[in-house]
């Protein structure tokens, strides 16, 4: 699938910030075999005093910007064309849950794909007895890891109520789980905690969803904003798979990846430190439109 | 070696009468055969000649030094912070030079090993790939910092300054108890212990061939300077700030080494370069000896909740523009479980055995090791694998000698099985004992040593001395040291004479002009406010004294003049029910607080004078009553304030910092005087107002001499506002402000006066052109407002 993606983020400050430094993860990723960034442009207003591109530990492209003059708003605008390649259907060659520990132990690597980074607690995900118990209810020791991921993702989707008003970016997974409501960020953090709680390495993916569903299908939740879902490691053979708990589905060509990490902290679209006194507000909008494939190809 | 005989032991009389090392425990004073170690003989000889009274006199000389220098021990209890006297055990620990050389060589090898390990963990990751280290141990450590993976330090080295905690086992050999690689503290305290101990035993210290410490610090300072490159950038010390428990040491060592003491907010990053915010604008800095734990160093790339860091610092490091001592992320080497793997890693990386072993450690993430720990739990301490605390410093022990010290949901054995990967077992270590003076005799007490190594031009150099911790009881298990005890100096005793040494360059060294020092904006801000607060304190005191003096005469607070003073004092938040008003104590606290943030720029005498004033005022607040009692108390306090001001203004070098202090004082004084004249020199002011103004303005004598008439509004305003010769007058203070401000950096911009200089000149001229007739109350209030506005201008130009 080919998409044209438009993202607009507006940060407004109550009293002008005298300066600031921000780390951005806004551009769709270029992932060989999964996704191709055909073209991408990030426009920032006002123009920052510094702008520097980089790559973080998990391989996500970053842009670091700095301001040294007073400003009371920043506008980020991404225009990108992305080709999302269809993933081969998941061949379930994953071990049963009981065998996963040994496979994790076999990976002698600290590379960014190594499952060991995605176990235990991270900044925004703490293992929690209630969530672990919830996950245990849904799986059995003989279940394969892929089936366990599906069972937990689906189970969570059934137990939770999607409510864009109920939580904020600062809501913890525990709190959202206790009230059984939230948005994609909460669903994803909860699912990660559930998976890690029973020993499945799990991470967080930020990205986009196509805005308008194909004819005859329902519109997906979270399509009008930046989206998030979960990746899980299913053994040496199967590797990483991705599941969207908000929509209860394995990730396919409707999902466009921006960044991957352990949780939201690793992939936050705009991280920043301001020299400012007042409060700030954020607004953002997303457009993900499939590009008609009926291009004129004048092959003579 | 001809060990001293039992005869010798007896010859030291009562001193050693009770000195009996514990069975199965090594001792520093006596060797394995019970003979006195050679290195101790001169000191023992000296001690045995001192009467108990003389000994006490000398000990108090050392304690007095530490108190005067402001060395204290900060203890964090439940919700409260207590400052205790520095617990110096006056008898140093003596180590023979030959033994010292073995220790230093062993630790230098270990330092090389740690460098190789940390380079691998942030580089190739061979140790994990080849199975020498489990990936999980590193990946789950909060000290392995992912943003630093793949970043090579510009100097080529991650580690530059290390500390090792070592102890001597029962068989007489030394063991490493823990490695300090993050931001080791204690070197400054070791220096202070040395100064105090050398004062106590000055004669024997000079004769006993004790190696000096200064050479070590000079080499380290040179090493820091050489990390800078040749771009004119600077080196500094990065501190978490005054709330840190070792802040005193940061300030002390910054003064000692002549380095800027910086906090995260003093720094900013511009185009990938690290800069210091100074009163002369942004200045480049490229070397930081950090005393701040790495995760707090940059809220953008590391802990996003940190208020102590500098956004963009990691980026500047990644671009190779900052040398960190030690590299961010080096703290991962303190992970306790690493001790289980280092012996084998040493073989693999250096092709050699560890010259000095570390305490035996088993990581329970492996089945064999877990079984071993369970079977031998009674002789072990069991603790979290990822903890970076030293065995006797941390409160996170899980089990000690078979006794569980933490509640677990399941029985401990089951809990251990569940959480094995997060747990290590460590052999319970027995330390050696060293003499401590108690009740006229020496008694053995357990001790461990902290030894410091610095990377210098000629390789690792060990500080010939160290920081000894002394246990409080005669329980020699390492863990018993947690109960706290004392600290002591460490003397490395040479066989022959040693070189005297100081931090000063040797005459043979090439002459180097020091770079001009820069004043960080935050320091300027604190100096400025220190000046203001101290002056405000004095102003309030004079007014309150005048109030109580008059109250004592009339006994009636409703007399118009007395009521007017009370109203005027309300502007300062002063309520007069108590003898010493709370607002006064608060202003003093603010002064002490400002001073505490600039200890590195402030003389010890100045600090003592200020804290003495503060303590005296607080003590008086409990007893002094309103009226005459208060008036007399204020006379005492006022003498103490003037003592402080005298020290500052007579003795302080006229560097930029002093100018800010002076401007702060003058601005406060000018502003307060304008307000006071508006209140008491107004034609409507109650009777006695003019005399009061003259009294509070400390100008009674001058007034009598200059004007042969009674006080009138004109004479008062002339003397206290317009007289350029009277240091109490507004005009005099505005002249001081104008003159000092003209000497500040950027007082001129492209040959023209800065906006601030113009504003200062304007207020000054406005006032100078007035006469007592034109300077009415409204004008006084207007001038007061303009003076206050100068403060904002200063703050915008220099202090933000």
B318–chain A Cβ distance below 8 A for any pair: yes
Q: Least CB-CB distance to A110: which of B128, B269, B315?
A: B128
| B599/B674 same-domain check | no
Strands (E), B472-554: 485-493
- pLDDT value of residue A300: 37
Residue ranges in chain A assigned as alpha helix (H): 100-106, 129-138, 145-159, 173-179, 184-197, 235-238, 264-267
- pLDDT value of residue B2: 41
The first and second tokens of residue A135, run together, are 């996950």
Q: Least CB-CB distance to B139: which of A52, A54, A110?
A: A110
Kindly report the average pLDDT of chain B as a whole number: 89
| B665/B780 same-domain check | yes
How many C-beta atoms lie closer than 10 Å to residue B2's C-beta?
A: 6
Structurally, chain B folds into a number of domains equal to 3
- Taking residues B369-398, what's their average pLDDT? 86
CATH of range A97-266; options 3.40.630.30, 3.10.620.30, 3.30.1330.10, 3.40.50.1970: 3.10.620.30
Work out the burial of residue A202: count CB atoms within 10 Å of its CB; fewer than 13 is exposed, 13-18 middle, 19 or more buried: buried
β pairing state of A202-209 and A71-84 = unpaired
Whether the predicted pLDDT of B508 surpasses 90: no
Judge: B125–A21 Cβ closer than 8 Å, yes or no: no
- pLDDT value of residue B515: 61
Q: What percent of chain B has pLDDT over 90?
A: 63
B27–chain A Cβ distance below 8 A for any pair: no
Contact in structure between B447 and B454 (CB atoms under 8 Å): no
| B692/B726 same-domain check | yes
The first and second tokens of residue B717, run together, are 């305003």
B171-183 tens-digit pLDDT = 999 999 999 999 9
B408-438 tens-digit pLDDT = 777 778 888 888 889 999 998 889 999 999 8
B399-412 tens-digit pLDDT = 887 777 777 777 77
Chain region(s) in chain A for CATH 3.10.620.30 = 97-266
Judge: B300–A64 Cβ closer than 8 Å, yes or no: yes
Q: Is the ipTM of this complex over 0.85?
A: yes
Asked whether residue B667 is assigned to any structural domain, the reply reads yes
Beta-bridge partners for B456: B459
- pLDDT value of residue B482: 63
Residue B75 pLDDT grade (very low, low, confident, very high; cuts 50, 70, 90): low
Contact in structure between B603 and B647 (CB atoms under 8 Å): yes
B591-629 tens-digit pLDDT = 999 998 888 777 778 888 999 999 999 999 989 888 888
Find chain A residues with C-beta within 8 A of B332's C-beta.
none
Chain region(s) in chain A for CATH 2.60.40.2250 = 2-84+268-290
How close does chain A come to B145, measured CA to CA in Å?
10
Pick the residue from chain A with its C-alpha nearest to B312.
A21
**Residue predicted with more confidence, B785 or B392:** B785
Whether the predicted pLDDT of B509 surpasses 60: no
Whether the predicted pLDDT of B347 surpasses 60: yes
Name every residue in A having a CB less than 8 A away from some CB of B. Answer: 21-23, 50, 52, 54, 56-58, 64, 66, 68, 104-105, 107-111, 114, 116-117, 119-120, 265, 271-273
Who contacts B186 (Cβ-Cβ below 8 Å, separation ≥6)? B163, B249, B450, B452, B467
Find chain A residues with C-beta within 8 A of B301's C-beta.
23
Contact in structure between A210 and A288 (CB atoms under 8 Å): yes
| B662/B641 same-domain check | no
**Residue predicted with more confidence, A279 or B397:** B397
Find chain A residues with C-beta within 8 A of B270's C-beta.
50, 66, 68
Q: Least CB-CB distance to B312: which of A56, A66, A110?
A: A66
Q: Which of A264-268, B72-76, B475-479 has the highest mean pLDDT?
A: A264-268
Asked whether residue B374 is assigned to any structural domain, the reply reads yes
Find chain A residues with C-beta within 8 A of B417's C-beta.
none
Pick the residue from chain B with its C-alpha nearest to A20.
B311
Of B92, B22, B62, the closest CA to residue B465 belongs to B92
Find chain A residues with C-beta within 8 A of B315's C-beta.
52, 54, 64
Whether the predicted pLDDT of B4 surpasses 60: no
| B638/B663 same-domain check | no
| B579/B677 same-domain check | no
Judge: A64–B147 Cβ closer than 8 Å, yes or no: no
Judge: A23–B300 Cβ closer than 8 Å, yes or no: yes
Judge: B299–A110 Cβ closer than 8 Å, yes or no: no
Judge: A272–B300 Cβ closer than 8 Å, yes or no: yes
B652, B669, B690 — which closes off a domain?
B652
Ramachandran angles phi, psi of B591, nearest 5°? -65, -45
User: Which domain covers residue B374, as residue numbers?
Assistant: 360-427
How many C-beta atoms lie closer than 10 Å to residue B254's C-beta?
A: 22
B255-282 tens-digit pLDDT = 889 899 999 999 999 999 999 999 989 9
Q: What share of chain A is helix, strand, coil (3-state, %, to 5)?
A: 25, 40, 40
| B671/B701 same-domain check | yes
Judge: A52–B315 Cβ closer than 8 Å, yes or no: yes
Find chain B residues with C-beta within 8 A of A64's C-beta.
300, 312, 315
Whether the predicted pLDDT of A281 surpasses 90: no
- Taking residues B237-261, what's their average pLDDT? 89
| B666/B753 same-domain check | yes
- How many CB pairs lie under 8 A apart between chains A and B? 66
Judge: B311–A117 Cβ closer than 8 Å, yes or no: no
**Residue predicted with more confidence, A281 or B777:** B777
Residue A167 pLDDT grade (very low, low, confident, very high; cuts 50, 70, 90): confident
Kindly report the average pLDDT of chain A as a whole number: 89
Residue ranges in B126-213 assigned as alpha helix (H): 126-129, 135-139, 187-200, 202-207
B612–chain A Cβ distance below 8 A for any pair: no
- pLDDT value of residue A197: 95
Whether the predicted pLDDT of B72 surpasses 60: yes
Asked whether residue B611 is assigned to any structural domain, the reply reads yes
Interface of B with A in 142-161 (CB under 8 A): 146-147, 149
| B590/B691 same-domain check | no
> Residue B278 is inside which H or E element, if any?
strand B273-278
Find chain A residues with C-beta within 8 A of B304's C-beta.
265, 271
B398, B427, B456 — which closes off a domain?
B427
Q: Which of A181-185, B63-67, B149-153 has the highest mean pLDDT?
A: B149-153
B197-226 tens-digit pLDDT = 999 999 999 888 999 999 999 999 999 999
Find chain A residues with C-beta within 8 A of B272's C-beta.
50, 52
B731-735, B747-751, B772-776, range with the lowest pLDDT: B747-751
Q: Which of A12-26, B76-90, B404-418 has the highest mean pLDDT?
A: A12-26
Q: Least CB-CB distance to B135: which of A57, A64, A110?
A: A110
B623, B652, B681 — which closes off a domain?
B652
CATH code assigned to A2-84+268-290: 2.60.40.2250
Whether the predicted pLDDT of A299 surpasses 60: no
Work out the burial of residue A163: count CB atoms within 10 Å of its CB; fewer than 13 is exposed, 13-18 middle, 19 or more buried: middle
How many C-beta atoms lie closer than 10 Å to residue A76's C-beta?
A: 21
Q: Least CB-CB distance to A21: which of B136, B149, B311?
A: B311
Whether the predicted pLDDT of A262 surpasses 70: yes
How close does chain B come to A110, measured CA to CA in Å?
6
Strands (E), B300-439: 323-325, 361-363, 380-384, 399-400, 403-404, 423-427, 432-438
Q: Can you tell me the distance from the alpha carbon of B19 to that of B22, in angstroms, rounded to the nearest whole number?
A: 10
A275-284, B211-220, B499-508, range with the lowest pLDDT: B499-508
B667-708 tens-digit pLDDT = 999 999 999 999 999 999 999 999 999 999 988 888 888 887
Asked whether residue B375 is assigned to any structural domain, the reply reads yes
Whether the predicted pLDDT of B304 surpasses 60: yes
- Taking residues B443-456, what's their average pLDDT? 96
The first and second tokens of residue B421, run together, are 């990967």
Read off the DSSP letter of residue B599. Answer: G
Pick the residue from chain A with its C-alpha nearest to B299.
A273
Q: Chain B interface, mutation test: which of A22, A197, A273, A274, most B Cβ atoms within 10 Å?
A: A273
Q: Exposure pattern of B130-162 as b/e (b: 16+ CB <10 Å)? A: eebbbbbbbbbbebbbbbbbebebbbebbbbbb
| B648/B697 same-domain check | no
Asked whether residue B506 is assigned to any structural domain, the reply reads no
Q: What percent of chain B has pLDDT over 70?
A: 94
B125–chain A Cβ distance below 8 A for any pair: yes
Judge: B135–A273 Cβ closer than 8 Å, yes or no: no
How close does chain A come to B550, measured CA to CA in Å?
46
- pLDDT value of residue B767: 95
Q: Chain A interface, mutation test: which of B120, B300, B800, most A Cβ atoms within 10 Å?
A: B300
- pLDDT value of residue A2: 92
């Amino acid at each position: 699938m080919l998409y044209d993606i438009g993202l607009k983020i507006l940060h407004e400050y109550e009293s002008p910030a005298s300066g600031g430094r921000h780390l951005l993860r806004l551009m769709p990723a270029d992932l060989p075999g999964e996704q191709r960034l055909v073209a991408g442009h990030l426009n920032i207003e006002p123009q920052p005093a510094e702008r520097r591109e980089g790559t973080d530990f998990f391989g996500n492209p970053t842009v670091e910007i700095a301001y040294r003059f007073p400003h009371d708003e920043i506008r980020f605008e991404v225009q990108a064309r992305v080709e999302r390649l269809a993933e081969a259907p998941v061949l379930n060659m994953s071990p049963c849950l009981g065998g996963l520990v040994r496979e994790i132990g076999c990976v002698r690597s600290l590379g960014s794909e190594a499952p060991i980074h995605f176990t235990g607690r991270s900044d925004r995900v703490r293992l929690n007895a209630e969530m672990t118990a919830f996950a245990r209810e849904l799986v059995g020791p003989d279940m394969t890891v892929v089936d366990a991921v599906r069972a937990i993702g689906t189970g969570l989707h059934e137990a939770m109520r999607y409510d864009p008003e109920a939580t904020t970016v600062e809501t913890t997974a525990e709190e959202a789980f206790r009230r059984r409501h939230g948005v994609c960020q909460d669903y994803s953090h909860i699912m990660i905690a559930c998976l890690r709680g029973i020993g499945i390495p799990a991470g967080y993916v930020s990205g986009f969803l196509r805005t308008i569903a194909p004819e005859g299908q329902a519109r997906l939740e979270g399509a009008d904003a930046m989206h998030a879902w979960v990746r899980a490691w299913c053994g040496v053979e199967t590797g990483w798979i991705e599941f969207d708990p908000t929509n209860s589905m394995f990730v396919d060509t409707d999902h466009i990846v921006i960044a991957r990490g352990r949780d939201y902290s690793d992939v936050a679209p705009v991280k920043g430190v301001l020299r400012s006194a007042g409060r700030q507000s954020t607004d953002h909008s997303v457009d993900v439109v499939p590009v008609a494939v009926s291009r004129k190809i004048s092959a003579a | 070696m001809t060990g001293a005989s039992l005869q010798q032991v007896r010859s030291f009389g009562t001193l050693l009468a009770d000195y009996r090392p514990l069975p199965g425990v090594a001792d520093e004073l006596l060797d394995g055969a019970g003979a006195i170690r050679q290195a101790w003989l001169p000191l023992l000889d000296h001690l045995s000649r001192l009467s108990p009274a003389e000994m006490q006199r000398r000990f108090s000389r050392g304690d007095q030094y530490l108190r005067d220098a402001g060395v204290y021990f900060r203890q964090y209890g439940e919700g409260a912070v207590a400052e205790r006297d520095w617990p110096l055990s006056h008898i140093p620990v003596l180590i023979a030079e030959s033994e010292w050389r073995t220790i230093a060589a062993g630790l230098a090898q270990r330092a090389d090993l740690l460098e190789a390990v940390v380079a691998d963990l942030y580089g190739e990751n061979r140790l994990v790939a080849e199975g020498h280290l489990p990936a999980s141990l590193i990946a789950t450590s909060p000290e392995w910092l992912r943003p630093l993976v793949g970043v090579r330090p510009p100097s080529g080295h991650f580690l530059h300054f290390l500390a090792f905690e070592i102890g001597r086992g029962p068989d007489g050999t030394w063991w490493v108890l823990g490695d300090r690689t993050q931001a080791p503290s204690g070197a400054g305290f070791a220096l202070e212990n040395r100064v105090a101990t050398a004062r106590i035993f000055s004669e024997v210290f000079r004769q006993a061939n004790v190696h000096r410490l200064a050479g070590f610090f000079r080499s380290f300072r040179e090493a820091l300077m050489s990390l800078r490159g040749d771009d004119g950038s600077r080196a500094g010390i990065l501190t978490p700030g005054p709330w840190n428990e070792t802040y005193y040491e940061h300030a002390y060592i910054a003064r000692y080494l002549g380095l800027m003491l910086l906090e995260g907010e003093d720094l900013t990053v511009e185009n990938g370069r690290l800069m210091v915010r100074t009163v002369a604008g942004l200045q480049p800095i490229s070397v930081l000896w950090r005393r701040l734990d790495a995760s707090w160093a940059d809220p953008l790339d590391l802990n996003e909740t940190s208020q102590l860091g500098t956004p963009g610092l990691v980026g500047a490091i990644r671009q190779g523009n900052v040398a960190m001592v030690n590299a961010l992320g080096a703290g991962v080497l303190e992970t306790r479980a690493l001790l289980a793997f280092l012996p084998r890693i040493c073989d693999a990386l250096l092709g050699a055995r560890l010259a000095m072993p570390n305490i035996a450690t088993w990581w329970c993430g492996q089945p064999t090791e877990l079984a071993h720990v369970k079977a031998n739990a009674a002789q072990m301490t069991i603790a979290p694998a990822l903890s970076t605390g030293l065995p006797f410093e941390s409160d996170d022990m899980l089990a000690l000698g078979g006794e569980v010290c933490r509640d677990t949901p399941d029985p401990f054995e089951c809990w251990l099985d569940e959480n094995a990967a997060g747990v290590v077992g460590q052999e319970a270590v027995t330390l050696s004992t060293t003499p401590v003076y108690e009740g006229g005799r020496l008694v053995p007490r357990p001790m461990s040593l902290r030894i410091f190594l610095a990377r210098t031009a000629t390789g690792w150099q060990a500080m010939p001395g160290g920081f000894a911790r002394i246990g409080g009881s005669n329980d020699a298990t390492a863990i018993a040291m947690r109960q706290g005890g004392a600290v002591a100096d460490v003397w490395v005793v040479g066989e022959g004479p040693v070189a005297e040494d100081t931090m000063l360059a040797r005459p043979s060294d090439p002459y180097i002009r020091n770079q001009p020092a820069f004043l960080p904006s935050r320091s300027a801000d604190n100096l400025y406010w220190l000046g203001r607060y101290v002056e405000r304190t004095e102003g309030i005191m004079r007014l309150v004294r005048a109030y109580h003096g008059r109250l004592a005469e009339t006994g009636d607070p409703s007399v118009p003049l007395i009521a007017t003073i009370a109203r005027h004092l309300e502007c300062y938040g002063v309520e007069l029910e108590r003898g010493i008003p709370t607002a006064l104590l608060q202003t003093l606290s603010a002064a002490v607080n400002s001073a505490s943030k600039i200890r590195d720029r402030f003389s010890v005498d100045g600090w003592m004078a200020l804290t003495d004033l503060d303590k005296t005022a607080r003590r008086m607040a409990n007893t002094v009553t309103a009226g005459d009692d208060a008036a007399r108390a204020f006379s005492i306090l006022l003498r103490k304030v003037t003592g402080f001001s005298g020290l500052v203004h007579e003795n302080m070098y006229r560097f930029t910092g002093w100018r800010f202090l002076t401007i702060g004082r003058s601005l406060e004084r000018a502003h307060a005087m304008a307000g006071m004249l508006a209140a008491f020199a107004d034609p409507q002011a109650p009777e006695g107002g003019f005399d009061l103004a003259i009294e509070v303005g400390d100008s009674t004598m001058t007034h009598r001499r200059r004007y042969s008439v009674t006080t009138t509004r004109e004479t008062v305003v002339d003397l206290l506002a317009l007289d350029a010769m009277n240091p109490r007058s507004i005009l005099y203070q505005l002249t001081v402000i104008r003159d000092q401000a003209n000497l500040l950096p950027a007082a001129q911009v492209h040959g023209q006066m800065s906006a601030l200089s113009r504003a200062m000149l304007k207020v000054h001229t406005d006032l100078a052109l007035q006469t007592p007739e034109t300077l009415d109350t409204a004008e006084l209030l207007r001038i007061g407002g303009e003076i206050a506005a100068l403060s904002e201008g200063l703050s915008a130009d220099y202090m933000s």
